[in-house]
Structure 1
Amino acid sequence: MQQYTYMVNRQRKWMLYILAIYVVGWGFTDYQVVFASLILGGTFSLFSLIILHRKVDSIGQVAANHEEKKQTLGMVVRLANAALATVITLRFPEYFDIIAVVIGLMTSYVVIIIDYIFHQLEFNARKRGE
């Protein structure tokens, strides 16, 4: 469980770093609509990541305690979260770009994949004794 906690904290930290890069891009470039859209999508993406981590943690607790509760990963909540970001984008097209919002929404999944790759590389290096 400790490995999972480290992974969650690492992924949240990287999401916050990426959001900080988006904010700096919004503040210091001429592409303010694009970076505002990335900030909107990234913020909703971070929220989805937090929901996913909480649901996985609760499923892990249920499995560890051998309980028979039916648990889900909160897919409906995360889809509603993405739909809300899309509705905000479509409501205010002068401030947000739909493509950049979708890229921002996908940020957490890219962070999860990259974190997994780095973890596997580290695990394989440790396994070989390097």
Structure 2
Amino acid sequence: MPELKATYVRQRKYIFLLLSIYVLGWGFTSYQSIFLGLVLGTSCSLFNLWLLARKTEQFGNAVANGEKIRSLGMISRMAMAVLAVFVAMEYPEKVHLISVVIGLMTSYVVIMIDFFLQTFHLRK
């Protein structure tokens, strides 16, 4: 599973880069609620990516040892997304709801872009 860990580390770097851009946008623009929503959603998305990577590694180890595993943690990832949306709905003047939803999808977009980059990089 070293390639899974390397993929996770690479994607985590991309998300940290995006988070730093969002923090700069929050600090230096007048669109603070939008960038704060992006920071909140992307942070939750990063946590969900970490959970998914950890559960996938546990799943791989369980399959290799012939054991069973209950799930890949879909409920906990959904709960995190609901929590982020709840925070945005509780403080609509501070956190932009649509930005939170876009931020929650960030890790999936990063996964797809990373997949295409790695696919085209390996072909060359």
Q: TM-score, normalised by structure 1?
A: 0.91
Residue equivalent to 2:17: 17
Distance in 1, Cα, partners of 2:60 & 2:118: 20
Aligned residue identity for 2:36? A
Calculate the aligned-residue CA RMSD, in Å: 1.0
Aligned residue identity for 1:81? M
Q: Which has the larger radius of gyration?
A: 1
Distance in 1, Cα, partners of 2:6 & 2:70: 23
Distance in 1, Cα, partners of 2:60 & 2:31: 42
Residue equivalent to 2:76: 77
- State percent identity of aligned pairs: 46
Residue equivalent to 1:128: none
Aligned residue identity for 1:16? F
Q: CA deviation at 1:115?
A: 0.7
Residue equivalent to 1:99: 98
Residue equivalent to 1:6: 6
Residue equivalent to 1:53: 53
Aligned residue identity for 2:30? D
For the residue of structure 2 that corresponds to 1:94, the secondary structure is coil
Aligned residue identity for 2:87? I
Q: How many residues align?
A: 124
Contact 2:4 2:53 in 1 (8 A): no
For the residue of structure 2 that corresponds to 1:73, the secondary structure is coil
Note the residue ranges of structure 2 that are not aligned, 5 or more in a row: none
